[in-house]
Amino acid sequence: LYTPPGEGVLSGVSLEVVLNFAEQVQIPVVQKPLTYWELIECEEVYVTCTTFGIGPVSKLGEKDFPNFRDTSM
């Protein structure tokens, strides 16, 4: 699990939940600045927001993330 470090990013409740869960299930967490090029190499990308929780990213530039599932009605 990669996440940007705290500089310039608000530490939110949703991110804390994700990081705590990762620790509980022994998923390694790496906090480092992420570039666009690193993100488009990922299988899945998610964003966290205290207001909306956790959400998948469906597209980044020209890169589509096929594991995105549209759950909107």
Q: Let me know: does 41 contact 21? Beta carbons within 8 Å.
A: no
Residue 57 pLDDT more than 60?
Answer: yes
Least confident range from 1-10, 18-27, 46-55: namely 1-10
- Cα 54 from Cα 50, distance rounded (Å): 8
User: Residue 12's pLDDT band (boundaries 50, 70, 90)?
Assistant: confident
Q: What is the average pLDDT across 40-62?
A: 87
For 30, residues 6+ apart whose C-beta sits below 8 A from its C-beta are 1, 2, 3
- Cα 44 from Cα 53, distance rounded (Å): 16
Q: Which pLDDT belongs to residue 40? A: 92
Residue 73 pLDDT more than 50?
Answer: no
Q: Which pLDDT belongs to residue 22? A: 94
User: Which amino acid does the sequence have at 9?
Assistant: V
Q: Let me know: does 63 contact 53? Beta carbons within 8 Å.
A: no
